[in-house]
Structure 1
Amino acid sequence: MSYDLAVWEGVRPADDATATTTFQDLYRKHMRRMGGQKTPPAPLIRQYVEALVTRWPDLSPDDDEEDEDASPWSDGPLINNASGPLFYFGMVFSKHQEASSFAVDLARTLGLICFDPQTGRLTS
């Protein structure tokens, strides 16, 4: 089981309902592209992801279970979850509280929008 967050560049939505619509639109446009081609991550999104993997190690397909225990990410490399202005990523549920707290604070610091799709609420 994982806990997911969405982070994106843009104007802060006025409310949670608008944020939900914005997230769905961005997801359709950037994560569900025909042919599976994603847009390269925007520079600020790349900076955000790099800061996350500086804090906790990234995962690669070759990681063994011991390496996975050192990281809260549910998959990797984490940058593969970014496309254009959107980054949608998961954390293992057992480590999501500390990781999501850091992720929300980092998004706020960088001026990014952070959204919890499980609750449909803005987090930053």
Structure 2
Amino acid sequence: MSYALHIWDGSVPASFEGACDAFNELSAASSGASPNPRYVEAAKALMAMYPCSSSFDESTDDEVWSESPITPTTGSPMWGVAFLTQHSKDVLPFVVSVSNDLGLIVFDPQLGKVYVPGGRVLGHDDGPLFTMKAYKPWWKVW
């Protein structure tokens, strides 16, 4: 399973709600021609620590990224980074650290947190934004 983060370059939001508003605006924005240089720099730093393999194999312990390569190729206003969930304990803090050091904002919808430069964390008071629904087994649907 993948763990996804959304990273962007912009003014630091004052609240979690402000970060969600920025996320929604950036999600709807159109892409530019070339990638943000800070995203490219962050991707290089991330791959220096956790290299991308040329062929994805989720079953190996060496693979960290769920998409390869992680380097952005378009000028999207927001950069998505996804890694395998079993590596989140090590990879999540590293992605946040590298991104924040470059002045980037990191949105983690799984935990309901936004990591902003300077070490501040904006949180969703009610816990994670997304939860798994309890579905009925297929044989109990009818």
Structure of higher CA gyration radius? 2
Change (3 A) 1:29 1:102: same
The alignment's TM-score, normalised by the length of structure 1, stands at 0.79
Aligned length: 116
Change (3 A) 1:91 1:48: same
Q: Which residue of 2 aligns with 1:115?
A: 107
How far residue 68 of structure 1 moved from its aligned partner, in angstroms, is: 5.4
Measured in 2, the distance between the counterparts of 1:64 and 1:105 equals 25
Change (3 A) 1:81 1:22: farther
Q: Secondary structure at the match of 2:71?
A: helix
Change (3 A) 1:17 1:75: same
Change (3 A) 1:11 1:84: same
Q: Which residue of 2 aligns with 1:72?
A: 64
Q: Which residue of 1 aligns with 2:12?
A: 12
Measured in 1, the distance between the counterparts of 2:33 and 2:13 equals 23
Measured in 2, the distance between the counterparts of 1:71 and 1:8 equals 25
Change (3 A) 1:6 1:68: farther
Measured in 2, the distance between the counterparts of 1:68 and 1:85 equals 32
Measured in 2, the distance between the counterparts of 1:17 and 1:119 equals 14
More helix by share: 1
The alignment's TM-score, normalised by the length of structure 2, stands at 0.70
Identity of aligned residues (%): 29
Measured in 1, the distance between the counterparts of 2:73 and 2:2 equals 14
Measured in 2, the distance between the counterparts of 1:116 and 1:39 equals 26
**Quick check: 1:59–1:76 contact (8 Å CA) kept in 2?**
yes
Change (3 A) 1:83 1:70: farther
Looking at both structures, which has the greater relative contact order when contacts are Cα pairs under 8 Å and sequence separation is at least 6? 1
- CA root-mean-square deviation: 2.4
Q: Return the letter of the residue paired with 2:9.
A: E
Change (3 A) 1:66 1:25: closer
